[in-house]
Structures are given as C-alpha cells and as structure tokens.
Amino acid sequence: MADEPRAKEGGFQGVAMAISLWGIVLLSVFFFLRYDVPELASDRGYLDTLFYVILGITGAAYILYQVALGWVIYRFRGNRAGAASSHWHESHKLEWTWTLGTALILVPIVWTGLVHWERVKAPAPDDAVAVMAVGAQFQWDFQYPGADGEFGRFDPQLYSIENQIGLDRDDPAASDDWVLTNQLVLPVGRPARILLRSKDVQHAFFLPNFRVKQDLVPGMLTEVVFTPVKTGSYEVACAELCGLGHYRMRAFLEVMDEADYQAWLAENAPGS
C-alpha cells in the first residue's frame, strides 16, 4: 500500500505554485521595463552600461530559473509518472561547466568594474570647479572658495545660526569664501570636485542623475569628481538614514552653461 504512487494528491498545490511563480516573474519583468533609472546628466554613462549588462545577465538567469522551476513543479505535481529522480555524484564535466561558465561571465564584469572604479576615483584635474559640501542634520551647505580658490579653515567652536559651517573669518583664505544653503550651482562641461565633510553624523551625497553617491564621515574629508554634461535643475539627496529629519535633507543642483555660470558668479559671489 505504502509504495503505490499517490497520483492525484497535491496536484492543485503544484498548479497554484507554478502559476504564482510565473506570475511573479511577469510582474517583476513588467516593473523593470516600466521604470528606468533617472535621466543621465554626467559623464558617468559608462556606469549605466555596466549596470544594464549586469541587469541583462542576471535578469535572463532569473527568468530562466523561475520559469524552469515552475515547469518542474507543474510537470511533477502530485508525484506524477516519471517523477522518481536519479542521483549521481562527482560529475566533473558538470562541475567544470558551471565553474568555467560562471568565471567567463564574472571575470569580464569584475575587470570592467575595476577599470570604472579607477576612472571614478581618479584625482580631479587642476581646472576642476571645487566646492565643499557640508552635511548636517538636516541641511546641505555649499562653501565656494572664492577667487583665491582656497577654502578657509573652519572650527566646530564657531558653528552658529549665522555661521553654519563654522568658517574662521580670521583665516585669510576664508575672506572671500561664501556659502549657499541647500543650493549648489555648477557649470556644464567642466569637472566638478566636491569635497565633503559632516558636522554631526554620517550622511551621503547622492546625485541620482549624475550617478554620484559618496558618504560624508564625521572627522574625515571625502570627495567626488564628476563632470555635468547637461544643464538643468537636479536633486541632491542624502542617501544615509541620518535621523528623524532625513527625508527633508534635500538640496538642488543647478547646472548652467559657462556664460550663465559666470554671470551668476558675478551676481552672487561677494566682492566679485
């Protein structure tokens, strides 16, 4: 009695499971096709290319696996004919195949990633526009170094409502520095070097359109270098859950063409 195949039992669950799996695959493919990453506005398009290559490979693997899994569940539901599986050990051919196959896919991806990393982390050229972004709970302050191109020193003792970034006005380099709150302006087509420091906790300088995301670590100076390639107004977000007001730690980046940028500087920079 016990050895008789239970042909009909569990048949319904098999069908329901297979349909659910295929449904999840369809839904996720639909959402991936429907939504796209934000419009690219920097020279970091090569990151998008790598992103889409990886998404294509993992996406195809995901669809293949899930569809095959659903089919196996459906085909052998309720212990149907031919359901007894065979077992074997040590198939060197199979092991070589999946090891080499995986390596062939992963090595070029990792290599490309390393090349991109070198590019992203390359030091800023001398003519880069330098701005210091100061993150705090919950706002962004952007310090422009002024005509001397040098950032004045700061002192945490000097933090106040009027002097958000604690700029030491006794420092000669600070005399022409000026600060914008929640607004960053950069010229198009010139490398931007954004130095980052935090006044309190860890924040992250996130420019979705520029494929830029860099942490601000208290007590440390970090930086990102990128080149805006498109004029317009873009969001600057904080990508680190930095406290209760994290959601409103938001600024705007205005990218202008060179002439507008110079006019804007002339109008806004003190003493220019």
Minimum CB separation from Cu ion for residue 242, in Å? 3
- Strand extents, DSSP E, 60-217: 129-136, 139-144, 178-181, 183-187, 192-198, 203-207, 212-216
Closest to Cu ion by CB, 30 vs 247, is: 247
Q: Give the amino acid at 207.
A: L
If one asks whether residue 236 binds Cu ion (CB under 5 A), the answer comes out as no
Minimum CB separation from Cu ion for residue 195, in Å? 17
- Strand extents, DSSP E, 21-164: 129-136, 139-144
CB 143 within 8 A of CB 134: yes
Stretch that binds Cu ion, among 85-93, 112-120, 165-173, 239-247 (CB under 5 A): 239-247
Closest to Cu ion by CB, 184 vs 242, is: 242
Minimum CB separation from Cu ion for residue 136, in Å? 8
Closest to Cu ion by CB, 47 vs 196, is: 196
Burial class (CB in 10 A: 0-12, 13-18, 19+), 11: middle
For Cu ion, which residue of 41, 249, 255, 256 counts as binding (CB under 5 A)?
249
Stretch that binds Cu ion, among 29-37, 119-127, 173-181, 233-241 (CB under 5 A): 233-241
Minimum CB separation from Cu ion for residue 42, in Å? 21
Give the Cβ contact number of residue 26 at 10 Å.
12
If one asks whether residue 238 binds Cu ion (CB under 5 A), the answer comes out as yes
**DSSP state, residue 208:** G
Stretch that binds Cu ion, among 7-15, 123-131, 188-196, 246-254 (CB under 5 A): 246-254
Instruction: Write the interaction track for Cu ion spanning residues 185-214; mark x where CB under 5 A is met and - where it is not.
Output: ------------------x-----------
Nearest to 237 by CA among 211, 206, 260, 269: 206
# residues contacting Cu ion (CB under 5 A): 4
CA 7 to chain centre: 51
Q: Which residue has the tokens 């995901």?
A: 62
If one asks whether residue 242 binds Cu ion (CB under 5 A), the answer comes out as yes
Minimum CB separation from Cu ion for residue 82, in Å? 59
The span from the CA of 185 to the CA of 205, in Å, is 15
For Cu ion, the binding residues (CB under 5 A) are: 203, 238, 242, 249
